[in-house]
Amino acid sequence: MKEKHDPANSLQNLDQFGEFGGVNPSITDSATYTFMNESIMQETFHGEAHGCFLYSRHWNPSNKYLADALSAMEGSESAWVTASGMAAITTAILQICNSGDHIITSVTTYGGTFAFLKNYVCKFNIDVTFIDISDHDSIKQAIKPNTKLIYTESMTNPMLQVSDIPAIADIAHANNIKLLVDNTFTPLVISPIKLGADIVVYSMTKFINGKNDCVAGAICASEKFIMEISNVNNGTAMLLGPVLDPLRSSSILKNLATLPIRMIQHSKNALYLAKKFDELGLKYIYPGMPGHPQHELMNLMMNDGFGYSGIIAIDLGTSERAAPFMERMQHRGVGYHAVSLGYFKTLFSNSGRSTSSEVPVEIQKDMGMSPGLVRFSVGLDHDIEHTFDLIKLCIEEL
């Protein structure tokens, strides 16, 4: 395993002040920026005047503050923030891959990502091979002369399969291929850059922001890659324009400060439910339990102190059983029957009919996704014991 990282300490030690000494960085809501010297403007357009801002679609101070904080947390050289998680994913992929290139990806991945790779990039003549990311021989066998990228999630959605990032990085780099990892489910818990990934993407909508009051994404990578995507002539981020509003950047930056204590509580509550589900004899998936096939792998990769994240899934067999179960949980106050994750209240949904509905049913079956799979994003409940009692009542009524 590669060097471990203390992401919370890196965040805490990052000094960012407002222009008048405010403990929160100032919010800059200008779309364009003035130059007192024409030569500096020209240098900025050519990417030579570092620290200067010309137009908010390129960079702005508020987005830079957030990007710097994310870079410190992730242990990357630089970062870029986007208007959604999908904007981060698509920007990174389209910057790396050109017409005629090939991508290898996990078949168990977020439905929006699956749809983009299965149904969209083909219009650019980009070929994609979907594999079981835990089968490293399958990765090696899928590699072609034109393979440019391996894409996976640290913890896949919704099957909670844990990717062996160091091993996959070794395979990728031995073949001059980039490794791109979506770390949305496990911020702070896993640090993919430190484990060998080249690029890490986030949907900040989820755990990082934690309020479900905005949509945002991030790309963490080398300084070179961030400069490439923001290049005014051919940068994917600059030319496609998925810029995050600076007011939202400021809000997310403040929420980022509480991420360590939130992840600890999310993980603590999820582990409690996993143990209780185990006692009930339910069929469930949670990497924090010894029965999970990648439990020991996660122990080797994870940072100390943040647990195993707050996502857990149970298998009720059929969607006909899952539907009334979720309705009863919402009625009893367990949380909300809603997609997304990382909220302070518990959210739950039937993955095959919601966040993975873009994945054809036959592929869902091939990857082992039950039509009755219910994914929980466990909230920050202070009384998780009472929450479990309510869930148990709903199960007993099935």
- Residue 250, sorted as left (phi over 0), alpha (psi -120 to 50) or beta, turns out to be alpha
Residue-wise pLDDT for 381-398, tens only, equals: 999 999 999 999 999 998
| Residues 74 and 219 both lie in one domain | yes
H or E element, residue 179: strand 178-182
Strand, helix or coil for residue 206: coil
Question: Is residue 121, in this structure, part of any structural domain at all?
Answer: yes
| Residues 245 and 96 both lie in one domain | yes
Question: Is residue 153, in this structure, part of any structural domain at all?
Answer: yes
pLDDT at 34 over 90: no
| Domain termination residue (choose one: 256, 279, 311) | 256
The backbone torsions φ and ψ at residue 49, rounded to the nearest 5 degrees and listed phi first, read -105, 80
| pLDDT (0 to 100) of residue 380 | 98
Question: Is residue 379, in this structure, part of any structural domain at all?
Answer: yes
Give the lowest-confidence range in 26-40, 256-270, 350-364: 350-364
| Residues 193 and 303 both lie in one domain | no
Q: How far apart are CA 117 and CA 119, in angstroms?
A: 6
Q: Could you tell me which residue, 297 or 39, shows the higher pLDDT? A: 297
Q: What is the CATH number of the domain that holds 317?
A: 3.90.1150.10
| pLDDT (0 to 100) of residue 53 | 87
Count the domains in the chain. Answer: 2
Q: How far apart are CA 98 and CA 33, in angstroms?
A: 33
Residue-wise pLDDT for 78-126, tens only, equals: 999 999 999 999 999 999 999 999 999 999 999 999 999 999 999 999 9
pLDDT band, very low/low/confident/very high, at 4 (cuts 50, 70, 90): low
Which residue bears the tokens 């996660």?
Answer: 298
Strand, helix or coil for residue 9: helix
One-letter amino acid for residue 281 of the chain: G
The backbone torsions φ and ψ at residue 148, rounded to the nearest 5 degrees and listed phi first, read -110, -20
Tokens (6 digits) for 343:
């909220």
One-letter amino acid for residue 393 of the chain: L
| Residues 367 and 250 both lie in one domain | no
Tokens (6 digits) for 258:
């509480």
| Domain termination residue (choose one: 256, 273, 295) | 256
Tokens (6 digits) for 315:
């298998």
- Residue 203 structural domain: 7-256
| Residues 207 and 285 both lie in one domain | no
Which residue bears the tokens 């890490």?
Answer: 200
Q: What is the CATH number of the domain that holds 51?
A: 3.40.640.10
pLDDT band, very low/low/confident/very high, at 365 (cuts 50, 70, 90): confident
| Residues 162 and 306 both lie in one domain | no
pLDDT at 5 over 80: no
| Residues 277 and 318 both lie in one domain | yes
Strand, helix or coil for residue 64: helix
User: Model-level pTM greater than 0.85?
Assistant: yes
| Residues 360 and 239 both lie in one domain | no
| Residues 285 and 317 both lie in one domain | yes
Tokens (6 digits) for 288:
């924090």
For the residues 72-76, what does the mean pLDDT come to? 96
Looking at the chain, the whole-number percentage of residues with pLDDT higher than 70 is 99
Which of 33-37, 56-60, 277-281 has the highest mean predicted lDDT (pLDDT)?
277-281
Nearest to 6 by CA among 317, 303, 223, 313: 303
Is residue 239 within 8 Å of residue 277, measured between CB atoms? Answer: no
| Residues 211 and 89 both lie in one domain | yes
Cα Rg of the chain, angstroms: 21
| pLDDT (0 to 100) of residue 3 | 57
Q: How far apart are CA 162 and CA 153, in angstroms?
A: 8
| Residues 158 and 221 both lie in one domain | yes
Question: Is residue 1, in this structure, part of any structural domain at all?
Answer: no
pLDDT band, very low/low/confident/very high, at 24 (cuts 50, 70, 90): confident
For the residues 339-349, what does the mean pLDDT come to? 96
